[in-house]
Structure 1
Amino acid sequence: MSKQKISLKGKIFRYFLTLLRLTDQPTVKVYRGFGTADRLTVFGHAFRRSALPRKNYRDIDLVNLLAVIRLFLVRPYSQALVRIQVGEQEVQTQADENGYFRIDVSLNKPLPSGWHRVQAQLTQTITSETILAEGEGNVLIPYATQFICISDIDDTFLVSHSATIAKRLLVLLTENAHSRMPFDGVVSHYQLLAQANSGPEATNPFFYVSSSEWNLYDYILEFSQKNRLPDGVYLLSTLKRLSQVLQTGKGKHHTKFDRIKQIIETYPSQQFILLGDDSQQDPIIYESVVQQFPDRIRCVYIRQIHAEHKARTESLMAKIETKGVFTCYFAHSADARQHSVDIGLVAT
């Protein structure tokens, strides 16, 4: 009798998973990483339960709601053992309590600039030949261009209403990666920045650093690809569970500074263009970045979103300018693009 009850419960649970396009099979996800010719940073998540990729983008509120909710029904594989393979080189690491893993791989043979494939295996033990799951991703070794762009996501290029939690949730839960919109003119500006003084057959790399959580990685990537934003590396914030969905996009902002700092220190020969908005902490973070790396930052762009933050933002931008860094506090992307032309960053 007991076995029948368990079996029925299991069937109902499996039906629920299928309905939401979730899988309870172990999976390993490798995000886009980055590095240099001699060293790569590879990161990802191991899951006991994860969301299957979305295939159809019907703009129906209930469908969009369920599609986002399932991203927060994931179950991390705590302390999972992960084997990373780059070419013929293999390294091993262990995920943390949230299933997140990050490892720096010192390369035996230098790699050329461009995107390179890495593979990951989820194993039972370090020496085990039993593979529970496999995944693959890509890492970027930037070309030796003059500039690297670091951009926020929400309300910088993706309309999100981050300053108002109710509006942010409404947009997130009732729209999808195909129905959401970028700000007018932002894509063309970013495409110009990707080409700014980059030389033939090379583009300036983009790093998208956000307080949005890893749950939304595929959502953000799909949006970026659909809208033809420059390919780049995405550095997001700690995974959240369903009970934390009201705090989406409210990650610890000091970790954002740390992620930006690591990028700048990884590429000591290049200058940086920082792009953000005034809805949350970007002006404060970017001013701190400029204070620590004044000679490494070429320009700071801040989109004006929140009128109540205008005076604070103008004060911070003035401090940035005292370090000899160009700034642009703008309401429309056309103004930011014209500023890039005026300072000789891009051609008309």
Structure 2
Amino acid sequence: MPTSTSFHFPKQLTSLSGGWRTYFLAALRMTDQPTVKLYRGFGTATQITVQGHVLRRSPLPQQHYQQRFWTNMIDMIRLFLVRPMAHVEVRLQGTTICAKTDIDGFFRFDWSPDTPLPSGWHPIQVELVSGSADKQSTPVGVSDVYVPHQTQYGFISDIDDTFLVSHSGTKLKRLRVLLFQNAHARKPFEGVVVHYQALSLTGTTPNEPNPFFYVSSSEWNLYDYLSAFLHKHNLPAGVLMLSQLKQFSQLRQTGQDKHLTKLDRIARILSACPDHQFILLGDDTQADPHIYATVVKHHAAQIRCVYLRQLGSVKKPDVIATVAAIEAAGIPCCYFKHSAEAMQYSARIKLI
């Protein structure tokens, strides 16, 4: 865990000015220049959701991963030293589509392309059009938008303790893992990568994989961190839908709230992909069983199956009851301890 001195660090940073401030930010590999942080978007050929943040202070991209205690801790802390820019305007380059950021610097808008987009990934750029003091250089965010292929299935997966070992049920353990292990040092559960890779290709081909959406209570601060983990372990490329940005003072509460907003994010995905049958993947440590049961209740026609990973030594009675309710609605549900069990279940119901 960080020391008490570490938790006073943002006050020290705030009190710095001039050259010392610039030097200190450079040492931390941070910038106080306005930055447009653009995330992967998604939608249909004719309607795309674009979202991101505008930040007045943000970390520079991580280039190296070193297994050093203090280096990893500082790299994580700087993700929570961000400062958002509220009520500034951004524009999708090449269009007149604009949006304003909220109090957290977050923006989201819908884009209807002049020409329908084919399935796959497409580059986009969003620029800051108000709020930048530097008129010579316009901050621009670069990312992609995803139009799912016309496959039968789609997948919505939680992250922490669903495929990434995170100890979410214990706040101090989760914080310790976050602070002291970088994205390349973190581990997936045994067998989960093989299972996800198989699911991504069920009923289709590598050129047209099933869409994956990663919906988590982890904050947008961790977007690059989680993206690096997905890439490192060759998990299916997909769209991350994370939770509200947090400040440094809230680091100890990372991943511990905003669970119910997952319902809204899942509903947007289902609405954007009405022709796909979705498989929901989660675990039994937080709110996933209840959330997925609610999704099944309201969207049963679009749900093919539910998977819930068991984290403790025994199955939880309340989760067993939730599984029974899901199955009573006619939706298969697998409550499993090891990924090998989940793969066997997938084969049994002909998902792989």
Q: Deviations over 1:202-260 (max 9, x none)?
A: 11000000000000000000010000000000000000000000110013111101100
Select 2:127's aligned residue among 121, 134, 137: 121
Partner of 1:338: helix, strand, or coil? helix
1:274 aligns with 2:280: yes
Name the counterpart of 1:14. 22
| Aligned mates of 2:67, 2:205 — CA distance in 1 | 41
Name the counterpart of 1:70. 78
Q: CA deviation at 1:201?
A: 2.5
| Aligned mates of 1:327, 1:193 — CA distance in 2 | 16
Name the counterpart of 1:287. 293
Aligned letter for 2:202? A
| Aligned mates of 2:205, 2:252 — CA distance in 1 | 45
Name the counterpart of 2:88. 80
Partner of 2:342: helix, strand, or coil? helix
Aligned letter for 1:35? G
1:253 aligns with 2:234: no
Partner of 2:97: helix, strand, or coil? strand
Select 2:31's aligned residue among 19, 23, 33: 23
Partner of 2:269: helix, strand, or coil? helix
1:268-347 matches, within 5 Å, as: 268-306=274-312, 310-346=316-352
Name the counterpart of 1:55. 63
Aligned letter for 1:38? T
| Aligned mates of 1:343, 1:309 — CA distance in 2 | 22
Q: CA deviation at 1:80?
A: 1.6
Q: Which runs of 5+ in 2 are unaligned?
A: 1-15
| Aligned mates of 2:315, 2:50 — CA distance in 1 | 36
| Aligned mates of 1:13, 1:312 — CA distance in 2 | 52
| Aligned mates of 1:89, 1:63 — CA distance in 2 | 41
| Aligned mates of 1:225, 1:320 — CA distance in 2 | 32
Name the counterpart of 1:97. 103
1:139 to 1:234, Cα distance in 2 relative to 1, 3 A: same
| Aligned mates of 2:17, 2:143 — CA distance in 1 | 36
State the percentage of identical aligned residues: 52
Q: CA deviation at 1:89?
A: 3.4
| Aligned mates of 1:212, 1:42 — CA distance in 2 | 19
Moved more, 149-158 or 307-316: 307-316
1:227-266 matches, within 5 Å, as: 227-266=233-272
Q: CA deviation at 1:306?
A: 3.5
Name the counterpart of 1:106. 112
| Aligned mates of 1:154, 1:308 — CA distance in 2 | 19
| Aligned mates of 2:96, 2:69 — CA distance in 1 | 45
1:335 to 1:345, Cα distance in 2 relative to 1, 3 A: same
| Aligned mates of 2:176, 2:149 — CA distance in 1 | 40
Partner of 1:264: helix, strand, or coil? helix
Total equivalences in the alignment: 337
Name the counterpart of 1:4. none
Q: Deviations over 1:291-323 (max 9, x none)?
A: 001121111000001457711111100000011
Question: What TM-score does the superposition give when structure 2 sets the normalisation length?
Answer: 0.92
Q: CA deviation at 1:265?
A: 1.4
Q: CA deviation at 1:109?
A: 1.2
Name the counterpart of 2:180. 174
What's the C-alpha RMSD, in Å, of the aligned pairs?
A: 1.8
The 8 Å contact of residues 147 and 198 in structure 1, kept in 2 or not, is answered as no
The 8 Å contact of residues 124 and 132 in structure 1, kept in 2 or not, is answered as no
Partner of 1:225: helix, strand, or coil? helix
Q: Deviations over 1:76-100 (max 9, x none)?
A: 0111210113xx4341111111110
| Aligned mates of 1:194, 1:158 — CA distance in 2 | 18
